[in-house]
Chains A and B, each alone.
Chain A
Amino acid sequence: MSAAGSMSINLLPAARQKASRTRARARAWIIGGTLYGAALGLASAMVAVRSSGAAEVSAKLADSAARGAELDEQLKAVRGTMATTRREAEAVREIQEHPDWSALVGCLARAAGPTLILDHCSLRPTPAKDGGGKGEKLANVPSGFTLSLTGLAVSNADVAEFTENLERLKLFESVSIVSIRAREGARVPREGESGTLVSFDIVCALSDAGAASADASGGER
């Protein structure tokens, strides 16, 4: 197009040109505002849609967390049940592997002699020492047994003899006299003897190690 072809002069009155420009500007603002509003609405809608998706995921995560906590609680309960069951199994095994304690009573009777009376005899499992490790050995599983003996003797020498007899059995890991004291009001019942009876308290530790040493020495059991 030549220069003449590109010549354009607008002889529209200036007031109308100004009004036309104002209308065009207003139209552009309206169109721009409408487009902006539409874009804003679209963006808001997209954000809303995405937010609803995030909320759904958050809800799923919360559900999963709750489910995980619930499973943890169930796991703890199962672990407690397992520990109880394991303790019961250990106790059963201990009972099943327990020696014939009636033989022990016979040994005690033979070690006591005629000058000594046993009025109480108890055999209790010895609690294991807590090592603080992570091993599965339970605190209540016995490491051995403690035999407590109480009774009356004619004299202290009878008590000492009884103690020696017990040690001689090679059955116990240790034999300890806890106490010996005169028993007021308890007289020797046999004629020709005077004096007051003494009561004693002896503790014997019975363990697999002691039994093994007894087996090695060929001691009576």
Chain B
Amino acid sequence: MSYFLQLVFSGIVVGSIYALAAIGFVLIYKSSRVLNLAHGQIIATGAYITYVLTVWMGVPIYISFVMSMIVTFFLAMSVERIFLRRLIGEPIISVIMVTIGLMSIIDGLIYLTPFGSENFSFPPFLPREPIILWGTYLSYTQVTGVVITFILIGAFSWFFKKSTVGISMRAVSDDQMASMSIGISVPKVFGLAWATAGLTAAAAGGILGNITGLNFDTLHAFGILVFPVVILGGLDSLLGAVVAGILMGLIQQFAGGYLDGNWGLNGTGQVLPYILLLVLLLFKPHGLFGTYEIERV
């Protein structure tokens, strides 16, 4: 029983990191209908900026965490301004290809720094003892991850429902022409969407970097895992991203816990998200919480 419970809790904590990564993705899609394939790279950049601030500049980790979120906020905004502003109105494939190009550019930039080819690790700042909950083990880092995720979710939900800027972002995602006609600056909203995505990406990167250590290969592969999560949740639903993230974490843990080792299987946790993605796309492409768009031929 405690094995099962352990898998559940591990799934939830891992899943909230996925959720955190997915939120940024959904934010960009929600406002501008752009699939940001470079999100994994932005997460990695956020992680490295946190590291630089903490270790090379000696800023206490709590502050550097927030600072890196702010820095990535502006970085992502400038990325949008420089590269994507020109592409408003172009066919969707061009925009996606630009984000693919961005992926390579950020990769290259990271390789120019020592981060690309060396391993780093954050100095430990949380107690190393585990938290024991009904026979399951959790680490402080993981719990912090969950807490930060939910704080950010709460903040964004409030932001989108109550604040003017948030509402204008939702308006733009609904209908660009109509929003323009009431005076909302659509390009500004796009920039803001990317910027907030950068914020969450930095948070995700910081937590991820704490758990796995700063190895570019590992951080790299994380970006692709975001897709099954956002499709499961629905491309334009924040709540969906959270629920789907946690679900995906649970699925991976259960696959690893119960499927691996039987019938000669191994590593099923890696492929199951994609099989799930495929099945979803065939039967329910809008995911659990996405808006229902009839896209049939």
Q: Do A and B come from one complex?
A: no
